[in-house]
Amino acid sequence: MPTAPCKLTVIVPCDLRRRARSVAAMRGEHVTDVVVRALQEYVAEALEEADDVRAVIDFEQRLARGEEGFEEWTKAREELSALPD
């Protein structure tokens, strides 16, 4: 369910604003649509990256505690290498 919209004020270079308005107009969109889409993509990418970092940290901690070994990873890497491109 979408949340209620709120106002966000940002300062951007004038030429970027002009180009964004032109592109939005060519596509029949509002600059707001363009900015919202760009922010959604930015946040999604940042969250995915954070998940990747957490997964690596979790693996390193398990490895340090002896709960994870490289044998499983070596086997998995070999299996992946054997797959066709």
pLDDT digits (tens, 9 = 90+) for 20-78: 999 999 999 999 999 999 999 999 999 999 988 888 888 888 888 888 776 777 777 88
Note whether residue 34 is domain-resident: yes
Which amino acid is present at 39? L
Burial class (CB within 10 angstroms; exposed 0-12, middle 13-18, buried 19+) of 82: exposed
Is the sign of the CA dihedral 42, 43, 49, 50 positive or negative? positive
Task: Report the number of distinct structural domains present in the chain.
Answer: 1
| Residue numbers of the domain that contains 65 | 14-82
Q: Give me the pLDDT at residue 80, please.
A: 82
Residues contacting residue 70 through CB under 8 Å, at least 6 positions apart: 63
Note whether residue 66 is domain-resident: yes
The model's pTM: 0.61
Note whether residue 38 is domain-resident: yes
Query: Higher model confidence: residue 12 or residue 76?
Result: 12
Query: Higher model confidence: residue 57 or residue 12?
Result: 12
Q: Give me the pLDDT at residue 43, please.
A: 96
